[in-house]
Amino acid sequence: MRAIWIIAPLVAGCVAGDVTRDEVLVGEGPADARPDACYSRLVEGAVFETVTVQEVVSPEVRDADGVVTQLAVFREEVVTREVSPRRLSWFETPCAARGDAAFVASVQRALAARGLYGGAVDGVYDAATADAVQAFQAPLGIDSGIISNRAAVELGLLAVGRGAA
């Protein structure tokens, strides 16, 4: 007799390597990167599933009255498999996104006008600014606190055609 029970599935994310999230890189990016453009990268960690499986090696033994005289013996095995691999994706970002205080203040004003930013319009790309940027562009499929060209175009801060894809 062979019975198998899945005891405890566990799904966990794991990011390997030295790729950092939320940084602007000049002249570095995807294979088709323009040397004068700025990019940021997102890492989606690999997802692993760990399952504990118990297999009956020998079933329990009962006497004529139904009383267990020998307990069942089980073999336990832990199996881990990768459900989805680690993914790296790039998006173009305005080069002024972090260093130009006037541009950052424009981002803050545009996000405040949409009710996403409640901080001071001071031209400092702080955590509140990054959180508001992330809230604005997450529906665009970009889960980052660094403003993308696409979001900058949608906010009216960057001319259409400047890497809005």
Q: What is the CATH number of the domain that holds 112?
A: 1.10.101
- What confidence tens digit (pLDDT) does each residue in 68-97 have? 999 999 999 999 999 999 988 899 999 887
**In the predicted model, is pLDDT for residue 15 greater than 50?**
no
Count how many domains the chain has. 2
pLDDT of residue 164: 47
User: What residues contact residue 17 under an 8 Å CB cut-off, 6+ apart?
Assistant: 43, 86
The angle formed by the CA atoms of residues 70, 73 and 78, to the nearest 5 degrees, is 160
Same domain, 78 and 133: no
State the sign of the Cα–Cα–Cα–Cα dihedral 164, 103, 126, 30.
positive
Same domain, 14 and 4: yes
**In the predicted model, is pLDDT for residue 4 greater than 50?**
no
Structural domain boundaries enclosing 76: 1-93
